[in-house]
A and B are shown apart, each in its own frame.
Chain A
Amino acid sequence: MAHIINTPLSKAQVKELKAGDQVSINGYIYAARDAAHKRMIELISAGRELPFDIKDQIIYYVGPCPAKEGQAIGSAGPTTSSRMDSYAPKLIELGLTGMIGKGLRSKEVIDAMVRFGSVYFGAIGGAGALIAESIKEEELIAFPELGPEAIRKLKVKDFSATVIIDSFGNDLYKIGREKFRL
Chain B
Amino acid sequence: MKCIDVGQIIQTTEELCINANYFLNDDILKSLKDGLSREECQTGRVVLESLVRNAEIAARDEMAICQDTGMAVVFVELGQDVHITGGSLIEAINEGVRRGYKKGCLRNSVVGDPIFRTNTGDNTPAVIHFNIIEGDCLQIEVAPKGFGSENMSSLKMLKPSDGIDGVKSFILDTVDKAGPNPCPPIVVGVGIGGTMEKAAFLAKKALLRPVGENSSVDYVRKLEEEMLESINKLGIGPAGLGGRITALAVNIEVFPTHIAGLPVAVNISCHATRHAKAVL
Contacts and interface: CB of A to CB of B under 8 A. Distances in A.
Interface of A: 20, 35, 62-68, 71, 74-77, 79-80, 82, 102-104, 122, 124-130, 132-133, 146-149, 162, 172-173, 175-182
B151 interface: yes
Interface of B: 40-41, 43, 47, 50-51, 53-55, 57-58, 61-69, 105-109, 117, 119, 121, 148, 151, 179-183, 233-237, 239-244, 270-272
Contact of B105 (A62, A74, A102, A172): A74
Contacts of B121: 147
Contacts of A133: 57
Given A63-B68, A127-B51, 6 more contacts: A71-B61, A102-B183, A124-B54, A148-B108, A148-B109, A177-B235
A54 to B, nearest CB: 23
Contact of A129 (B61, B106, B117, B242): B61
A176 B121 CA distance: 40
Residue in B61, B236, B272 whose Cβ sees the most chain A Cβ within 10 Å: B61
Contact of B54 (A35, A104, A128): A128
A64 B40 contact: no
Contacts of A146: 119
Given A68-B63, A182-B233, A129 B41 contact: no
Is chain B's binding surface mostly helix, strand, loop or mixed? loop
A138 B53 CA distance: 23
B235 A129 contact: no
Contact of B69 (A65, A67, A80): A65
B228 to A, nearest CB: 14
A126 B54 contact: yes
B232 to A, nearest CB: 9
Nearest to B41: A180
B64 A180 contact: no
Contacts of A76: 67
Contacts of B105: 65-68, 74
Given A147-B108, A148-B109, A178-B235, A128 B40 contact: no
B106 A65 contact: yes
B148 A102 contact: yes
Residue in A162, A179, A180 whose Cβ sees the most chain B Cβ within 10 Å: A180
A32 to B, nearest CB: 14
Given A103-B181, A148-B108, A180-B242, A62 B67 contact: yes
B53 A130 contact: yes
17 contacts: A63-B67, A74-B63, A79-B67, A80-B151, A82-B181, A102-B148, A102-B239, A102-B240, A122-B241, A127-B51, A130-B57, A172-B241, A172-B242, A176-B242, A177-B179, A177-B235, A180-B41
